[in-house]
């Protein structure tokens, strides 16, 4: 009965955060890439990234890795940070703290059926725009529900981030535009961590059952953990 309740809880969490199957998460560095989500593990000690959810918008060996923190919404309106952009006047969309690097730089993630002028596709219908000209063009006619603005970004070398993943600092999830435009970003990390913990609990329970069914012991399930 307890296992069924946990399974039901996991299903509800998947519905809440965009229909991610629990088995889709990973802690393998080879699963990193543009469009992937990083979810900080509770053990990650860096205050810049504690309890964060990060969308990777660039991942390559030459240009490095760039990500945007999705769940640190500020009370600052975009009209204040884009004062020189005509299309931003009168807009009250909140700006997000995108990361500890380049905190005066403005970037935007846009959800669109066609690639906006000057933008770069991150994954699916999600695009990144960084120049003043492309921001102004994108702002015109784009509703607040389909564009988020970020001050600053997160940056790593590919090797640095791979090492952080290997050391247990991050969970990796498939990219999902619904996470970017989540209505309650302040609770996004908690929901993803609960999903992760539910999967670990269910996996451990299944592993113990399999060990006994196979004539083994609970000790043979020592490796039943997130992969």
For the packed helices 188-213 and 2-16, what is the interaxial angle rounded to 10 degrees?
Answer: 150
| Topology of domain 24-199, CATH | VC0467-like (3.40.1740)
CA dist., res. 192 & res. 196, Å (int)? 6
- The dihedral over CA atoms of 43, 98, 156, 122, expressed in degrees to the nearest 10, equals 110
Residue 130: helix, strand or coil by DSSP? coil
Residues 169-210: tens digit of each pLDDT: 999 999 889 999 999 999 999 999 998 887 766 654 444 344
Could you tell me which of 13, 6, 24 has the C-alpha nearest to residue 187? 13
- Averaged over 13-36, what is the pLDDT? 72
Q: What is the mean pLDDT of the chain?
A: 82
CA dist., res. 37 & res. 146, Å (int)? 18
| Cβ count within 10 A of residue 13 | 19
The helix (H) or strand (E) run that includes residue 147 is: strand 147-156
Q: What was the pLDDT predicted at 195? A: 87
Q: Where are the domains of the chain?
A: 24-199
Instruction: Give the pair of three-digit tokens for residue 168.
Output: 């247990």
Q: What was the pLDDT predicted at 99? A: 98
**What's the DSSP call for residue 115?**
P
CA dist., res. 188 & res. 16, Å (int)? 10
pTM beyond 0.85, yes or no: no
With contact defined as beta carbons under 8 Å apart, do 57 and 128 qualify? yes
Q: What was the pLDDT predicted at 204? A: 41
- Averaged over 5-28, what is the pLDDT? 57
* Through-space distance between the first and last CA atoms of the chain, rounded to whole angstroms: 26
Residues 157-167: tens digit of each pLDDT: 999 999 999 99
**CA 79 to chain CA mean position, Å:** 25
Could you tell me which of 26, 43, 59, 15 has the C-alpha nearest to residue 225? 26
Q: What was the pLDDT predicted at 206? A: 44
């Amino acid at each position: 009965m307890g296992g069924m309740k946990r399974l039901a809880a996991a299903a509800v969490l998947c519905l809440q955060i965009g229909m991610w199957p629990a088995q889709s998460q990973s802690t393998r560095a080879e699963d990193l890439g543009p469009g992937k989500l990083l979810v900080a593990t509770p053990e990650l000690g860096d205050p810049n990234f504690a309890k964060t959810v990060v969308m990777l918008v660039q991942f390559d060996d030459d240009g490095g890795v760039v990500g945007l923190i999705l769940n640190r919404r500020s009370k600052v309106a975009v009209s204040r940070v884009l004062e020189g952009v005509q299309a931003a006047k009168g807009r009250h969309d909140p700006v997000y703290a995108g990361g500890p690097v380049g905190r005066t730089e403005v970037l935007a993630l846009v959800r669109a059926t066609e690639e906006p002028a000057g933008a770069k596709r991150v994954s699916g219908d999600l695009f990144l725009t960084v120049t003043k000209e492309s921001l102004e063009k994108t702002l015109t006619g784009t509703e607040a529900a389909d564009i988020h603005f970020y001050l600053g970004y997160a940056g790593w070398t590919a090797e640095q981030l791979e090492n952080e993943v290997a050391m247990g600092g991050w969970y990796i999830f498939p990219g999902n535009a619904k996470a970017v435009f989540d209505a309650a970003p302040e609770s996004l990390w908690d929901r993803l961590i609960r999903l992760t913990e539910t999967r670990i609990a269910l996996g451990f329970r299944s592993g113990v059952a399999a060990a006994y069914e196979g004539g083994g012991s609970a000790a043979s399930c020592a490796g039943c953990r997130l992969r």
